[in-house]
Amino acid sequence: MKTYLIDDDYLAIYLTEQLLRAEGFSNTICTFQSAKKALDKLLIRARENQVPQVVFLDLNMPEMNGWQFLDALAPYEEELRGSCSIYILTSSLALSDLEKSKEYELVAGLIHKPLDSGEIRAIQSQLGDGPEAA
Amino acid sequence: MPPSAKPAPESTLTYADLAKREHQLSVIFNTIADVTFVLSVEPDGRYRFIFANKAFEKATGVPVDKVVGREVREVIPEPSLSLVLTKYQEAATTRERVVWQEVSDYPTGRVTGEVSVAPVFDEAGRCSQLVGVVHDLTKEKHAEEQQRLLTERLMQQNSDLQQFAYIVSHNLRAPLANALGFTDLLTRLDKDSEAYDTSVQHLRTSLQQLDQVMTDVNDILSLRDTQAGYRPEPVALAAVCQLALEGLQEALQACGGHLHNAITEGLRVAGSRAYFHSIFYNLISNAIKYRSDARPLQIDVAASEVPDGSLTITVRDNGSGFDLEKASPHVFQLYRRFHSAAVGRGIGLFLVKAHVEAMGGHISVRSQVNVGTEFTIHFKPAADENLPH
């Protein structure tokens, strides 16, 4: 499953990537420490019809935060729907973030860090995709 | 019967009685703290003072004998004159008491008063006199204003604290979540793998970050504590700036930067030496951190004092700048960063603002991407120092 990991915190990126690998979630994980760069890449891939199936998106980032990333994707909602599921992966426990996430159609769920194996499996079954060979 | 023969009860009063009553009345009027005056309404619509008490003299600085017998327009200057004439007119035509509030600059200072003017009628029912009383509200107004400022400050502090709690909880949670995740991951990794060693390292880093947040919280809380005992002292600004620079000299030289300190040598400012040191240190270290790779860093520090006692300090650089429109409401917030490339925890500007405000100043910023950033710190001559911090 082609996966994007967007988080400005390199420790969180390393951790999530390792956890995903340990669960055999994906063998193509692209990591981005800047939401802006991830956005540019995703839009290029969209033109080639090669969008990632899953995006893990952090919220609290400098320059472009998670919400701004989602807002920037809004015009492409139509073509991304069904092919690209975005999971917000945040350390925030604020209820307001959960409420806000429901306003975005592309957001498939909000997960509190750290990601655990239960959640990883839930996503796999949600996307109808069993564990891949690493 | 001829009218002169009619025995009127008043006629039993002797001249001495009248003089005694007159004296009593005058004692009463002159003892009253409120400004009291009587105007005669002349047939041509002019108003003339026929009585004024001692309080009138005290408030206006005009002696009573210079007032009585004079026309109102000779005594009261514009712009008050137009207002009071309208009000007198209103009292005379509506035949009702008229009350309004007025701010006047008397020789004794600015006075906020509640003025009340009541009409007096003669036997024919014509409004012949106006009795005016000015009740001094200056103290009440001042207390009200202090109260308002205090409330404003409390509300601001309350919202600051709420935000502080939110930010801290978030910034505690981020390294904590990482640490939890790494402990989970470690149980599943081969102890001899490279990933295991890296994860142990990262676990350690996460815990150090957690500790750093606790240290920040402690710094910020102790800042609030020391603020309560803050007493301004004369600070030699140029020397403090130079001292702050010394700690950063190495970093400045390493990037080939240059700082021009244009603060006049002898300039002394009332404030805290430690706060000014922190302000210069943080602003200069930010300028070094967020310099532009496209040109050698140039930092300009200046201070200008205006004769009225206000002071402006500027710290300007030609660094990478930031998008002020996007960052504007958050520039001085705790743990806010605007440069993804460079390191920074987002506490420097928060402290700078706290220190500036603790000394009664105000800080603002202008910035342009790829041009540079300028911080301006302004101190008013007498920032409301009577208010508790």
- Model confidence at A11: pLDDT above 90: yes
Q: Which residue range(s) make up the domain with A88?
A: 3-126
In a domain, A134, yes or no: no
Give A-chain residues touching B337 at CB under 8 angstroms.
62
What is the CATH number that goes with domain B229-389? 3.30.565.10
Residues of chain B above pLDDT 70, percent: 91
Structure token pair of residue B292: 């532009």
Total domains in the fold of chain A: 1
Q: CA–CA separation, B153 vs A57, rounded Å?
A: 38
Average pLDDT, chain B: 86
- Interchain CB distance below 8 Å, A18 and B199: yes
Q: Which residues belong to CATH 3.30.565.10 in chain B?
A: 229-389
Q: Å from B241 to nearest chain A CA?
A: 30
**CATH class held by domain B9-136:** alpha beta
pLDDT, mean of residues A48-59: 93
CATH at A32? 3.40.50.2300
- Interchain CB distance below 8 Å, B340 and A8: yes
Banded model confidence at residue B6, pLDDT cuts 50, 70, 90: low
Report the chain B residue with the minimal C-alpha distance to residue A22: B188
The answer to whether the CB of B373 falls within 8 A of the CB of B298 is: no
Q: B213-219: long-range contacts at Cβ-Cβ below 8 A with a sequence spacing of 24 or more? A: B213/B168, B213/B171, B213/B172, B213/B175, B214/B172, B216/B334, B216/B345, B216/B347, B217/B168, B219/B347, B219/B351
- Interchain CB distance below 8 Å, A15 and B178: yes
Give A-chain residues touching B324 at CB under 8 angstroms.
none
Q: CA–CA separation, B282 vs B42, rounded Å?
A: 72
Banded model confidence at residue B388, pLDDT cuts 50, 70, 90: very low
Residues B337-346: tens digit of each pLDDT: 766 555 666 7
Residues B199-220: tens digit of each pLDDT: 999 999 999 989 988 888 887 7
Three-state SS at B300:
strand
DSSP state, A95? Answer: H
Residues of chain B above pLDDT 90, percent: 44
The answer to whether the CB of A131 falls within 8 A of the CB of A25 is: yes
The answer to whether the CB of A42 falls within 8 A of the CB of A57 is: no
The answer to whether the CB of B366 falls within 8 A of the CB of B374 is: yes
What ipTM was assigned to the predicted interfaces of this complex? 0.90
Identify the architecture of domain B153-224 in CATH. Orthogonal Bundle (1.10)
